[in-house]
Amino acid sequence: MARDFEDHCWKDVVDQEILEIYEPYRREVRVGSRPAVLAIDLYNKAYRGGNRPVREVNRQYSGSCGEHAWKALEPTRLLFAAARAAGIPIVYTTRHAETDGVHSTHRRVHGETEQLYHIKEELAPMPGELVIYKERASGFFGTPLIAHLRKLGVESLIVCGESTSGCVRASAVDAYSYGFPTVVVEECTFDRSLLSHKVNLFDLHHKYAGVMHVDEVIAQLDGRARDRDAA
């Protein structure tokens, strides 16, 4: 059963006055038709230093989301499995380590750095799945993502990944602008700052996308997989 529209992680930071102001946004939230999963920046760099508090890992590994990244690993693995079982394409974004020009040598450090932007092994793309290389926060900016979604016949998006207040938000806002009904999966997004995580999900939920819990998303995808098998 679907939980209440405001039954989300931001409950402890958003007060009653704000909820009253945002009351008109209340609506049913569902995965749209012909969806794709858009998996934002699930690269190794976000997991460095291991399953520990961000403040600790961040001293050595700038940009790591620490325990928030690790906590989202299993829900995201389950989300991907459900999407693949339902025949729903997964499109990844990541970046190249250096994008400013041609280099005269292929130093060893380049290979090491590039590895930081490979998708984490447990969530890695399967053969044929698309990886979009971007240079800005949004997966749409300066990339051919919109053209690929058009060619895949995608009509709505399921967004996950990191960071909630960075590339996830920028991508979800652009998805809305391009006219894709979009769902953001709460347990499969993460950030270094919990406050920014919560408030950005709140903003997205009311203005641009529907924030859903991973179990609800997976239940809907499983239903589609069953419908497809029965057909």
Residues with active-site annotation: 167
Q: Which of 20, 109, 230, 231 binds a second copy (CB under 8 A)?
A: 20
Q: Which is nearer to a second copy, 16 or 230 (CB)?
A: 16
Question: Is residue 44 close enough to count as binding a second copy by CB under 8 A?
Answer: no
Question: Is residue 176 close enough to count as binding a second copy by CB under 8 A?
Answer: yes
Residue 215 Cα distances to 3, 79, 218, 228, angstroms:
11, 9, 5, 20
Choices 1-9, 110-118, 172-180, 221-229; region in contact with a second copy by CB under 8 A: 172-180
Question: Is residue 150 close enough to count as binding a second copy by CB under 8 A?
Answer: yes
CB within 8 A of 75, min separation 6: which ones? 185, 187, 188, 214
Binders in 198-217 for a second copy, by CB under 8 A: 199-200, 202-203, 207-208
Q: Which of 27, 127, 230, 231 binds a second copy (CB under 8 A)?
A: 127
Chain length of the chain: 231
Neighbours of 214 (CB within 10 A): 20
In a 3-state reduction of DSSP, which class is residue 70?
helix
Least Å from the CB of residue 226 to a second copy: 25
Mask: binding to a second copy, 68-97, rule CB under 8 A, as x and -?
A: ------------------------------
Q: Which of 21, 26, 87, 223 binds a second copy (CB under 8 A)?
A: 21
CB within 8 A of 22, min separation 6: which ones? 206
- At 89, phi and psi to the nearest 5? -65, 145
Least Å from the CB of residue 69 to a second copy: 14
Cα Rg for the chain, rounded, in angstroms? 18
Cis peptide before 196 (omega within 30 of 0): no
Does residue 166 contact residue 176 with C-beta atoms inside 8 Å?
no
Q: Which is nearer to a second copy, 165 or 220 (CB)?
A: 165
Residue tagged 């291991």 (tokens): 50
Both tokens of residue 222? 């499983």
Q: Which of 31, 46, 54, 217 binds a second copy (CB under 8 A)?
A: 54
- Cα distance between residue 181 and residue 145, in whole Å: 16
Chain residues binding a second copy by CB under 8 A are: 13-15, 17-18, 20-22, 24, 54-55, 58, 62, 99-104, 125-131, 134-138, 141-151, 153, 155, 165-166, 170, 173-174, 176-180, 192-193, 195-196, 199-200, 202-203, 207-208
